[in-house]
Amino acid sequence: MAAHILVLDPDSAVRQLLELNLTRAGYQAAACRDAESALALLAQDRLPDMLLLEWDLPGQPGEALIRRLRAQARTRELPIIMVSNRSDEHDIILALESGADDYLTKPFNPRALLARIHAVLRRRIPHVASDTVQMAGLRLDPGTQRVIAGTRQVALGPVEFRLLNFLMHHPERVHTRSQLLDKVWGRHAVLDERTVDTHVGRLRNALQPSGHQEHIETVRGTGYRFVTRHARLALDWSHAF
């Protein structure tokens, strides 16, 4: 599940360079030149997974835009990296205090930028980073879109893959159906919460041949979580004392 990154920069050459490097690195990229265009894109059904922006923008400075995004519930947690011509320490500190997750000055090394992007995604929204996750005998690789249970590959649809990816990156944490709709389907998905139950059922069916369906636990009255040791094993262990 490639992360979607929005590039905001008034310089067309910089936009093209960033889009090219992001695409080559396996990310989905879109670009715009001013704050108004960025806000229009951010108002669409699905938020990007990250925003890269320049400080000096037409109409509204990048630092002010960050403050505006951090003040809104929908974009408060959006990962943001400022990639700017400004290299003064005061500007860097101000951008970080405004809510930027990281700051990189131009000209920049593309590899350094990609490393910073990956680090922020891994820290802020690990389920969209390209890291392989392994637990409870399952190996999930976002880069290849494969799930391996033991030695066999599990056939999952795209929604079930995203659902398992999210749950495995947040093990033992309980997620409500509403939260899962936001994180897996998109923040403005107009779907009934029973949709989550349907796809959890499909995910469990796909994991059943290897016995891993037990790791998708229903928390009555709340939602679901991924448990690293399924309930039956935990029960047997408790009876040993």
- What's the average model confidence in pLDDT over 14-23? 92
Q: What percent of the chain has pLDDT over 90?
A: 52
Q: What is the mean pLDDT of the segment spanning 63-76? A: 91
187, 237 in Cβ contact below 8 A? no
pLDDT of residue 204: 95
Residues in CB range of 92: below 8 A, 6 or more apart: 86, 103, 105
Distance CA 191, CA 42 (A): 20
CB 17 within 8 A of CB 23: no
CA distance 234 to 238: 6
Whether 105 has a pLDDT exceeding 90, the answer reads yes
Strands of the 175-176 sheet, one edge to the other: 175-176, 223-226, 216-219
pLDDT at 201 over 50: yes
pTM: 0.61
**What percentage of the chain has pLDDT greater than the value 70?**
88
Please state, rounded to an integer, the average pLDDT across all residues of the chain. 86
Pairing label, strands 175-176, 216-219: unpaired
For the chain, state the CA radius of gyration: 20
pLDDT digits (tens, 9 = 90+) for 33-65: 999 999 998 887 678 889 999 999 988 899 999
Rounded to 10 degrees, the C-alpha dihedral 148/138/158/44 comes to: -140
Predicted confidence (pLDDT) at residue 124 exceeds the cutoff of 90: no
For 140, counting Cβ atoms within 10 Å of its Cβ (0-12 exposed, 13-18 middle, 19+ buried), the class is buried
Give 230's pLDDT tier (boundaries 50, 70, 90): low
Hey, what domains does the chain have and what are their CATH numbers? 4-128 (3.40.50.2300), 133-238 (1.10.10.10)
Phi and psi at residue 6, to the nearest 5°: -100, 125
Q: Which residue has the higher pLDDT, 186 or 165?
A: 165
Position 240 scores a pLDDT of: 40
Q: At a CB cut-off of 8 Å and minimum separation 6, what does 173 contact?
A: 225
Q: What is the pLDDT of residues 211-228, one digit of tens each?
A: 999 999 999 989 999 998
- 238/183 Cα distance (integer angstroms): 34
